[in-house]
Amino acid sequence: MQLAKNKRNAIAVAVMALVLTILYLVIRVILMVVSLQSTVNEVDQLQKIASTKDLAQISAGLGKAADAIAMADASAKDPLVQLAGYLPVIGADIKAASIVASDGRLVLQGAQDVSNIANQLIKAGIGSKPLTDSTLVSSMRESMSAMNEAVQKLNRDLAGVDAGSLHFGLDQRIGSAKQIVSALANASARITPIVQVGTVVLEQPDTKRWFVAIQNLSELRGTGGITGAYAILTAKNGKVKLDEYGSDKTLLKMGGINYKNYPEELRDIWGVDLADWRDINASAHAPYAARLMADGWQQKRGQKIDGVLFVGQGVVSELSGAVGAITVRGVSVEPSNVIDFLSKDIYAKFTNVQVKDAVVGELAKEMFSRLVSGKVSASGFLKSAAEDTTGDRIMAWAEDKNIQKLFSNYRVSGEVSQKFGSNVLVTVNNAGGNKLDAYTFVKLDYVLGICNVDTFTGYQGRKSRVTVEIENRAPKSGLPAYVDLRLDDQFGEARPKGSNRDLVTIYGPVGSESETITVNGEDEFVSIGTDRNRPIWVFEVTLLAGEKKTLVIDMVEPINDDNQELISGAPSLIPPVMLNSPSVSVSSIGECRLQ
């Protein structure tokens, strides 16, 4: 009897413990949901506050939202709540809510930090006055970088949530959140490098002179595009001044550059004139072109250039959002039309080349004048960045090794790595002397295949394949003559309208070797060279209007380095900087082991 009674008591205790556990779990989940709803309410209020552009109020609103979501995050991190994520039916809902709570807290905290620092910088007169506290600038950079990491993590985690499997209205909310966060992630990924570069420029205690190369991505080059305009900025301790601006014609009038410092092995591979300001950025390694630009300015103007910034239509569109609409010769250039205006419409509107060049210069002058005077809109900057669909990205170089190291750490230096690894780069150089790359589209694929093969030079290796699909979507007629001309015409030979010629360069991994090279399935002869310790293969591709070609390199790449150690790290494929954002995919059958 006593044994039976003890068993009943034990069962009762176990049942009670189970009930309490379930009750505790329910309470924690309810707290998480309620806290998330409170966060939503605070964010709704924040949107109203944002219209006032009062950074102090915005920061306070972000703080309230962060406090609310912190409670939800605490519940999400509870071990029982995490275990509940594996329950049938409601487990997916709990996991989705936990992602929003945990990742969202980091985003809101990061945004609050950025807002606080931005408010302090504005009060300090950033851009127009010397800073009394230079650490604010570096704090802005670090806070922006941290917030971007949080936003990208939230975007990745939400992308893995199947909204269709959710209940209780979460399916619609998560589906909507995915779209919003995706746009935010795009904007953050584009804005953060600009902030990183800008803050490095601003925080220097001594006067530095910066050459801003404004690239035209309608005529592609290794770092992005032909230099169509430029600006000279000087900066010291938070204060910036626009010293000069001009078009490429101003640069050409200075005369050719002495390019004795350029690597001899690369001087002929792309067939460019390295003395010409417009052709010096054929290599993917941005510091080569930057060094030449700095040398050229020193040679022709007698002024030292401390650093070079490369920007194209995409970055310009984001800056346009920051400074607002600019009227140039009767045309209103604003974030919604600046990309098309600079890549296509300007040639139809201003058929006289000298007038067109003057318009570009005047636009650059007004834009940078507003930027250095601090006349900027953060909301406009964010909106234009979210809407930017180009494949543009900012690059920066500095002669000072410590500054260059910062640029390299933030991956904005445009450096081609000389280290071992499964890393491939692709560039496009326009060889037709036209502006038809506004209609060029590329699709890239990098596949790491079977292991246990050797390279010809004795490394243990694996097979891999790089595929570049390049398409010319230019119309066959109707384009201005300046856009679809072919400067590569041979005497007496006409080219079809809309046709183009590009040099597509594939940078293989260090130590890799090609096995087969084809275009549309047929063996192809290509130019072969070495750039930054990497093998490069240069395809000469001629495309009629509407034509597409597929370039393929099958190669063997090493899996061990010179120290006979296994190469580690995720594979990567860096696409060309171009107007139309490339499609990129990377895959692998798995990791290899040393034999």
- β-bridge pairing 423-430 and 500-507: antiparallel
Question: Per-residue pLDDT for 25 more than 70?
Answer: no
- Say which range, 87-101, 207-221, 355-369, has the weakest mean pLDDT: 87-101
107, 156 Cβ separation under 8 angstroms: no
pLDDT in tens, 364-392: 888 888 888 777 787 788 888 888 999 99
Of the pLDDT bands very low, low, confident and very high (cuts 50, 70, 90), residue 43 is: low
Residue type, 518: T
Question: Per-residue pLDDT for 32 more than 50?
Answer: no
Candidates 221, 483, 498; CA nearest to 353 is: 483
Residue 75's pLDDT is 66
Residue 28's pLDDT is 45
Residue 158's pLDDT is 82
Of the pLDDT bands very low, low, confident and very high (cuts 50, 70, 90), residue 231 is: very high
CA 402 – CA 406 distance, rounded (Å):
7
Tokens of 532: 């930054």
3-state secondary structure 518-580: EECCEECCCEEEEECCEEEEEEEEEECCCCEEEEEEEEEEECECCCCCECCCCCEEECCCECC
Average pLDDT over residues 142-150: 91
CA 150 – CA 111 distance, rounded (Å):
10
Residue 265's pLDDT is 83
CA 508 – CA 492 distance, rounded (Å):
38
* Mean pLDDT across the chain: 85
Residue 257's pLDDT is 94
Of the pLDDT bands very low, low, confident and very high (cuts 50, 70, 90), residue 325 is: very high
Residue 290's pLDDT is 96
Residue 59's pLDDT is 64
- Say which range, 30-39, 107-116, 301-310, has the weakest mean pLDDT: 30-39
Of the pLDDT bands very low, low, confident and very high (cuts 50, 70, 90), residue 169 is: confident
Of the pLDDT bands very low, low, confident and very high (cuts 50, 70, 90), residue 151 is: confident
Q: How many residues in total does the chain contain?
A: 595
**pTM of the model as a whole:** 0.88
CA 220 – CA 434 distance, rounded (Å):
9
Residue 570's pLDDT is 92
